[in-house]
Amino acid sequence: MAIDLLYFSWVREAIGTGSETLDPPEGLASVSDLVDWLATRSEGHARAFADRARLRAAVDQVFVPLDAPLGRPREVAIFPPVTGG
Amino acid sequence: MIRVSVQSDPIDIAAELALLVGAGVGGIATFTGVVRADDGVSALELEHYPGATEAALRALTEEAAERWSLAAATVTHRVGVMHPGDMVVFVGTAAIHRAAALESCAYLIDRLKTDAPFWKRETRGDRASWVEPRDGDMVAAARWKDD
């Protein structure tokens, strides 16, 4: 099942793109499992996802902890802690 | 009346205030965030998560409107490239009494800083760097959970 991945800020820069559509393997239970799989895709992905404490995520635009269940999302965003205002 | 906007256009304070005055109540509080000129910053770029950002701002604003019985609330955040002196964010609240207006305005800017998906990149000279989150912002947002 294809998932739209979105990346922001230095996560986007490290990976080299702001979005990609991928078909991850079955059986990824949590957002963290998805990140583990993504990290194997390229050096940039590995660099972006090296420090999990600096990552935040949203599943179908709902902000969730990395250990949240993945379910069957259409869109997953991975990004650093926010710094607006 | 609730209005949220994520825009690249400059913030029009007069128009924002007119919306709040139009609610017809006696107390209006506003907060305006301005790009700081200090420590050598020459430009500030704001990135956001289109769709999710607007939804997050709307959820926060609706929560504040209910908690403080606001007659009106407006949150406007600029994105894109800005320079020192430019207005980045405007929060305005209108209520019958000043305490509700002032408290809800502080609540909105505190929560916006930790809950809305914006990312800042500062340029100093020929170097650009992503802004790190500040612990103080987390503390400021957390204080509202104890009330």
The runs of H, that is alpha helices, within A1-85 are 9-15, 31-39, 43-48
Q: What per-residue confidence (pLDDT) applies to B77?
A: 98
- Per-residue model confidence as pLDDT tens digits over A4-63: 999 999 999 999 999 999 999 999 999 999 999 999 999 999 999 999 999 999 999 999
Residue contact A82–B52, C-beta within 8 A: no
Q: Are B7 and B79 in contact (CB under 8 A)?
A: yes
Indicate the residue of A8, A61, A80 with minimum beta-carbon distance to B51.
Answer: A61
Touching check for B80 and chain A: CB below 8 Å?
A: no
**Averaged pLDDT, B112-136:** 94
Which residue of chain A is at minimal alpha-carbon distance from B31?
A85
Q: How far apart are CA A19 and CA A26, in angstroms?
A: 21
Q: Are B96 and B28 in contact (CB under 8 A)?
A: no
What average pLDDT is seen over chain B?
Answer: 95
**Averaged pLDDT, B45-54:** 97
The answer to whether residue B38 scores a pLDDT higher than 80 is no
Which residue of chain B is at minimal alpha-carbon distance from A64?
B115
Q: Give the length of chain B.
A: 147
- Per-residue model confidence as pLDDT tens digits over B3-20: 999 999 999 999 999 999
For residue B111, give its domain range. 2-145
Q: What per-residue confidence (pLDDT) applies to B135?
A: 87
Touching check for A51 and chain B: CB below 8 Å?
A: no
- Reported confidence tier of residue B37, pLDDT bands at 50, 70, 90: confident
- Per-residue model confidence as pLDDT tens digits over B69-93: 999 999 999 999 999 999 999 999 9
Touching check for A77 and chain B: CB below 8 Å?
A: yes
CATH of the domain at B141: 3.90.1170.40
Structural domain tally of chain B? 1
Pairing between strand B72-78 and B87-95? antiparallel
The answer to whether residue B147 scores a pLDDT higher than 60 is no
Q: What per-residue confidence (pLDDT) applies to B146?
A: 61
Query: Minimal CA–CA distance to B89: which of B78, B101, B73?
Result: B78
Indicate the residue of B55, B117, B121 with minimum beta-carbon distance to A82.
Answer: B117
List, in order of start, the domains of chain A with CATH numbers: 3-79 (3.10.20.30)
Q: How far apart are CA B118 and CA B51, in angstroms?
A: 12
pTM exceeding the 0.90 threshold for the entire prediction? yes
CA A5 centroid distance within chain:
6
Burial status of residue A81 (CB atoms within 10 A of its CB: 0-12, 13-18, 19 or more): middle
Query: Minimal CA–CA distance to B5: which of B34, B66, B48, B43?
Result: B48
Q: What per-residue confidence (pLDDT) applies to B20?
A: 97
Which helix (DSSP H) or strand (DSSP E) does residue B61 occupy?
A: helix B52-67
Query: Minimal CA–CA distance to A9: which of B45, B21, B20?
Result: B45
Q: Are A42 and A81 in contact (CB under 8 A)?
A: no
- Per-residue model confidence as pLDDT tens digits over B52-71: 999 999 999 999 999 999 99
- Reported confidence tier of residue B145, pLDDT bands at 50, 70, 90: confident
- Reported confidence tier of residue A1, pLDDT bands at 50, 70, 90: confident
